[in-house]
Amino acid sequence: MRDWMFNLRIGSFQYDIIGSLALSEEDGCSGYFGRVLPPPCDCNPLLDSNEIVRAVPDFLQLVLSFGGYRHIAANFDLLDRLLTFGTIIDLTKPEILAFFPSIPSPVWSCASFGTSDITAKFSNSAPSLIDLTFARNSNKWRMTIQFSLLLPLEARLWTAYLVQSFPFYKDHALDFHNLVFLDELGFKLTGTFTTDPSSYHPPKYLHVPPLSVEWINNMPCFYWPPNRCYYWSFDCGGKMEIEEEDWARYGIPNLEVVAFAGSIWRQEEYEATREYLHLNKYDPGGQQFANDHGYPILVVGDPHILSKPPQAGV
């Protein structure tokens, strides 16, 4: 909220590039200038927080968009646990801080990222088959595909999480990298091809077995890691699997698997949300705001512990 100011000398808004540069260097965010907030309209100088909130009714959505796809990239050992969707977790401890009850089932999705060399989509022929389309007129193709289980209505859940998350951020004194809203779980496949595997005889096909959740205590869960993330086969149905030691012989590259989980926001975004609640006369805990706007309410604790019946004699 501090980067746009009204310059009385020139009679218009200007961006505080000095302060923004200092912030960018402190938090290591090289992409900060790619997402500068637009100046609000019809504000009177000086440009204070109340003016911004009044002039930008969707201010929370701006804050949300900064962090929603800022996933935690993690090795498989770090995620080696039962992961429960719709929960707030501390990655440094095997505990759940809070959860949203009545969470819908996550949806299995696939998307190509970062390159136009290869596009990918689910095939209609088999649940695990991935249709790969290679760009023409090239002898080398770079591929990055993301597969994930993603909660539907994510923007609504992001808002519900962020407006109620400040007490956890404050009370647990967590680094923002460790406070995670588990709305998504998946992995990226990256690699470089020098041939199109489907264009040779016999053709080779990429298979990524769909991840599916298990419902435990009325919450969608997944035991990470999966048995395997992908494999290659001589047939569309995936029954004639190619052994990994034979991949090089058939011109199949090894693909790097990078796991990721959840969404995070930075300290500045937590504090901006807290200030937004304060300026709108809401408690910083956020539950009153969530109630008034029809958002799900966070329940403090672990759903797998709270659901256990009390022991006899306790």
Per-residue tokens: 93: 């401890």
Compute mean pLDDT per 10 residues along the chain, 314 residues long, and list them: 53 50 44 47 53 64 66 58 88 84 92 80 92 84 91 85 83 67 91 85 92 93 88 93 91 90 81 85 90 93 78 48
| 8-state DSSP, 271 | H
Specify whether the CB–CB gap between 287 and 100 falls below 8 A.
no
- pLDDT attached to residue 139: 81
Q: How many Å apart are CA 144 and CA 110, to the nearest integer?
A: 11
Decide if 69 contacts 155 (C-beta within 8 A): no
> What is the amino acid identity at position 16?
D
Cα separation, 270 vs 168, whole angstroms: 11
pLDDT at 6: 54
The per-residue pLDDT for 156 is 85
pLDDT computed for residue 155 by the predictor: 79
And the tokens for 240?
Answer: 């004639």
Q: Which residues pair with 89 in a beta bridge?
A: 96, 180
Predicted local confidence at residue 251, as pLDDT: 85
Whether 4 and 48 have beta carbons less than 8 Å apart is answered as no
Question: Which residues are 7's β-sheet partners?
Answer: 12
Q: What's the confidence (pLDDT) of residue 20?
A: 44
In contact, 110 and 145? CB cutoff 8 Å = yes
